[in-house]
Structure 1
Amino acid sequence: MRKALVVLSVVMFLVSLNFGATKITVWAMGEEAKSLDQLVKLFMEEYPEYEVDIQAIPWANAYDKILTGIAGRQVPDIAQMGTTWMSPFGSMGAFEDLAPYIERSEVVKPENFFKGALETGIVDGKQLGIPWYVDTRAMYYRTDLLAQVGYDHAPQNWDELYDAVKKLVENGSRYGITLYQPQDNYQVLLPFVWQNGGDILDSAGNVIVDQPEFVEAFGYYTRFFTEGLTPIAGGGNLFQDFASGDTPIFFSGPWMVSMIRAQIPQIAGNWDVALMPEKKSRTSFMGGSDLVIFRDSKNKEAAWKFIEFLSRPDIQVKWYQIVNALPSVPKAWEDPLLQSDPMIATFGEQLNDAKAPINIPEFQEISVSIDSRVQEAIYGRKTPEQAAKDLKKDIEKILK
């Protein structure tokens, strides 16, 4: 009897250690890595046949770590992948083509995700990543100051935005809007280009930055700088400038909602969030992180099971509760938690019209050229037309 009890105790101990479970290794970064264990616990409770090992990697080291892992074929089963990293690594053939998994999945279906989010995982026509969480940009604006210049609503289109900004400056604001960011300024310019029906490349891969749609958007954006309506070097502290009324309008992501509420509570009730201004569309910038399975993974089916779990609407809502990461699944946005805050709900609406930059390995070089040509235009060294022509030459050279 005693021997039987000892054996039973050993068995129970091994079960408690998830003995014999299939191990899924995951590389994650930043706050996600610190908090993902909360979802892992739920997953392992629901699927005790799996064990998940989260390995935290600092964002600063992540790119080199992934590159070294691919070269040495020492990779995890799953990795969190910034959307701008999908193409550089995906074009190496390092990721599993997920199309066969999607075809037989009840959870991960194309129609279950925001279109722009799903497109971030497509490289060379293959679905290599599944959007885990997303972010986008919307318009932050001072309702009280806009009311003083005749606007009882956020500027709805390009004409209203320009008109409102001019009137805000005439009314005493130092600037009407802030549009510049020190790095990756292409993220501010490209939404205007997309709103006007332009892009960097057409469907055949031709460079089209010298076409009217791109040039008109570039000129519209540049005008705010050359007319002194926006700070040319980013201005001062964004929170202070928003609170003082120096810059009553800016574009940013959902993280700013809680930050403004915490850092400048004195303007509560005098600001709001709205969709991007419309030209031909209201398209905004799409970012976030995808989940990939490495081609060299030894546990691909198990890895896919975990990705399916993270893609469920209820788990996406849970993840939002934990780290405030916006769900990539529209169904999750129906949850009262996300609908109860109108400002956050606005971002959910904006995600229906959001887009990521072209997913090609050369985009990093292209983005540097865009930033360089933007600098020339906003400082008046070149006209938008000339800067766009030079940008076309830059990009064509990069793509040779």
Structure 2
Amino acid sequence: MRSKRLSAGLLSVAAALSLVATTAMAAPKTVTLWHVFNLDTDMIYGGIEAFNKAQDEYRIEARVVPATSMVTELIKATATGSVPDLATLDNPVVASFSGQGTLTDLSPLVAKSEIVKPGLYFEGPWASAQWQGKTFGVPRDANTLALYYNADMFRAKGLDPDKPPRTWSELRAAAEKLRDPAKNVYGFGFSAIQAEEGVFQFLPFLTQAGGSIDKLDQPEATAALDFLVDMMKAGIISKDVINQRQYEVANTFMAGNTAIAFGGPWELPRMEKEAKFDWRLTLLPVKDDKNIAASALGGYVFVVPKGAKQPEGAFKFIEFMSDPKILNEGWKTGRLAPRTDVKVENPRWPQAYGIYREQMQSAKARGPHPQWPDISKALQTAIQEALTGAKPSAQALQDAAKKIQPILAKTPL
């Protein structure tokens, strides 16, 4: 009798263990995600919720990392072997991690994907995730720069707001006319801060002038920087731009202290709330004798760190987030889709959407280069030196070129 009870007990335990094992096998695998998007309106939140509900093989567990800390946090995680399965990186630093061999080559997964197809992406965003012929990331979103202008100020100064400046000479002429020292109004504003933001906003001028990062000692680069220096000397641009981040330049525009300003689509939500005047956007003006359409590329890229425990699950989420239905949601917070096949129907801020989407076609990636931070730092110094009058533009850029050329001699762009 005892043996029968024992046998029955063992069978019960075995059945229970079997149930636990079955339940464990059915439990979704955790995919850890680090991202920088702290606004709950960002498309990543809806994407995570929808992905977790749509299938039961994987579950995304997300952690928000401040944008200013992401690179440092990922470097520490790589050193300790505790990397997330998936992360979002600002596009110019992807090559830095790729060049150090700390990212997973996604080329095989992309080759088999029915959703992530290289030919569907804008050239700039896709290029930002490539290194030495391999794909180390997939663009999540994109942004670029366009020209905000105060249409009410245009009318007050006798300028036609329906005919915004199309060339550098027209930009300078309009900005000079709009300048009003008595009201503390500057004609034009942009960020020249000694940080990546300053380089981001200078690069369009450099490219429009026919220059490039590997030829800073040439006349084209000098022409680009002199254009800005001369406007500052004339009082058209505030000397404060050397200390202003992009959002601070936007603040001066929304406050009515800057008539025309460089800015990105991420400013649209607060522009809508805070600007108490008729504001509009237009494409970046081109240099008169060159007619080169160009802007700088911003945005984030999904990457899978080497050592990730769930690379396949991470890529499935990348594919999910790359679906046009998800990417359409990005524009609600001023995030452009990095793909040419995604077009938002009846977009919020329709005029702005048309301008930024067209400007995206000429948006150039920064680099890609594994030592982009060093390259950028040299250019940041040159911009500051020229705008503060510490050195003539040509000399400042020549000094920057001397720092950059050895880097590019070792690893070309």
- Do both proteins adopt the same fold according to a TM-score greater than 0.5, normalized to the shorter chain? yes
Aligned counterparts of 1:296 and 1:169: Cα–Cα separation in 2: 55
Whether 1:66 and 2:97 are equivalent positions in the alignment is no
Q: Partner residue of 1:259?
A: 270
Q: Partner residue of 1:282?
A: 293
Whether 1:194 and 2:207 are equivalent positions in the alignment is yes
* Larger mean Cα displacement after TM superposition, 360-369 or 231-240: 231-240
Match of 1:179 among 184, 190, 193: 190
TM-score (structure 2 length as normaliser) = 0.83
- Does the residue aligned with 2:30 lie in a helix, a strand or coil? strand
* Larger mean Cα displacement after TM superposition, 154-163 or 61-70: 61-70
| Superimposed CA distance per residue, residues 168-209 of structure 1 (whole angstroms, 9 cap, x where no aligned partner) | 2279763210124434221221110112222112xxxxxx11
Whether 1:213 and 2:225 are equivalent positions in the alignment is no
* Larger mean Cα displacement after TM superposition, 232-241 or 357-366: 232-241
Q: Partner residue of 2:380?
A: 371
Give the % identical residues.
Answer: 27
Aligned counterparts of 1:92 and 1:183: Cα–Cα separation in 2: 26
- Does the residue aligned with 2:306 lie in a helix, a strand or coil? coil
Whether 1:306 and 2:317 are equivalent positions in the alignment is yes
| Superimposed CA distance per residue, residues 269-307 of structure 1 (whole angstroms, 9 cap, x where no aligned partner) | x22011111233221111111001223223322221111
Match of 2:167 among 132, 157, 160: 157
* Larger mean Cα displacement after TM superposition, 227-236 or 95-104: 227-236
Residues 339 and 351 of structure 1, relative CA distance in 2, 3 Å threshold = farther
| Superimposed CA distance per residue, residues 39-78 of structure 1 (whole angstroms, 9 cap, x where no aligned partner) | 1221133222222222333334322221122122221221
- Does the residue aligned with 2:170 lie in a helix, a strand or coil? helix
Q: Partner residue of 2:336?
A: 326
* Larger mean Cα displacement after TM superposition, 292-301 or 352-361: 292-301
Residues 18 and 250 of structure 1, relative CA distance in 2, 3 Å threshold = farther
Residues 246 and 23 of structure 1, relative CA distance in 2, 3 Å threshold = closer
Q: Partner residue of 2:12?
A: none
Aligned counterparts of 2:330 and 2:152: Cα–Cα separation in 1: 34
Q: Name the amino acid aligned to 2:190.
A: L
Q: Name the amino acid aligned to 1:227.
A: A
Whether 1:127 and 2:156 are equivalent positions in the alignment is no
Gaps of at least 5 residues in structure 2 are 1-14
Aligned length in residues = 382
Q: Name the amino acid aligned to 2:70.
A: A
- Does the residue aligned with 1:197 lie in a helix, a strand or coil? coil
Q: Name the amino acid aligned to 2:57.
A: E
Q: Partner residue of 1:113?
A: 121
Conserved 8 A contact 2:268-2:334: no
Q: Partner residue of 1:78?
A: 86
Aligned counterparts of 1:384 and 1:183: Cα–Cα separation in 2: 16
* Larger mean Cα displacement after TM superposition, 51-60 or 248-257: 51-60
Gaps of at least 5 residues in structure 1 are 1-6, 202-207
TM-score (structure 1 length as normaliser) = 0.85
Whether 1:26 and 2:37 are equivalent positions in the alignment is no
- Does the residue aligned with 2:381 lie in a helix, a strand or coil? helix
Aligned counterparts of 1:91 and 1:311: Cα–Cα separation in 2: 25
Aligned counterparts of 1:32 and 1:41: Cα–Cα separation in 2: 15
- Does the residue aligned with 2:303 lie in a helix, a strand or coil? strand
Query: How big is the shift at 1:257?
Result: 2.1
* Larger mean Cα displacement after TM superposition, 93-102 or 56-65: 56-65
| Superimposed CA distance per residue, residues 94-141 of structure 1 (whole angstroms, 9 cap, x where no aligned partner) | 112222222222211112111111111122332211100112111000
Aligned counterparts of 1:55 and 1:337: Cα–Cα separation in 2: 33
Whether 1:166 and 2:166 are equivalent positions in the alignment is no
Q: Name the amino acid aligned to 2:372.
A: F
Residues 180 and 295 of structure 1, relative CA distance in 2, 3 Å threshold = closer
- Does the residue aligned with 1:133 lie in a helix, a strand or coil? coil
* Larger mean Cα displacement after TM superposition, 291-300 or 336-345: 336-345
Aligned counterparts of 1:105 and 1:228: Cα–Cα separation in 2: 54
Aligned counterparts of 1:379 and 1:318: Cα–Cα separation in 2: 42
* Larger mean Cα displacement after TM superposition, 76-85 or 163-172: 163-172
Larger Rg: 2
Query: How big is the shift at 1:167?
Result: 1.9
Q: Name the amino acid aligned to 1:249.
A: I
Residues 136 and 239 of structure 1, relative CA distance in 2, 3 Å threshold = closer
Conserved 8 A contact 1:33-1:56: no
Q: Partner residue of 2:361?
A: 352
Aligned counterparts of 2:297 and 2:90: Cα–Cα separation in 1: 11
Aligned counterparts of 1:256 and 1:278: Cα–Cα separation in 2: 23
Aligned counterparts of 2:349 and 2:147: Cα–Cα separation in 1: 19
Residues 94 and 238 of structure 1, relative CA distance in 2, 3 Å threshold = closer
Conserved 8 A contact 2:229-2:386: yes
Whether 1:137 and 2:145 are equivalent positions in the alignment is yes
Aligned counterparts of 2:122 and 2:25: Cα–Cα separation in 1: 36
Conserved 8 A contact 1:180-1:233: no
- Does the residue aligned with 1:248 lie in a helix, a strand or coil? strand
Query: How big is the shift at 1:397?
Result: 4.9
Q: What CA RMSD, in Å, does the superposition of the two structures yield over aligned residues? A: 3.0
Q: Partner residue of 2:46?
A: 38
Residues 94 and 248 of structure 1, relative CA distance in 2, 3 Å threshold = same
Q: Partner residue of 1:205?
A: none
Residues 32 and 81 of structure 1, relative CA distance in 2, 3 Å threshold = farther
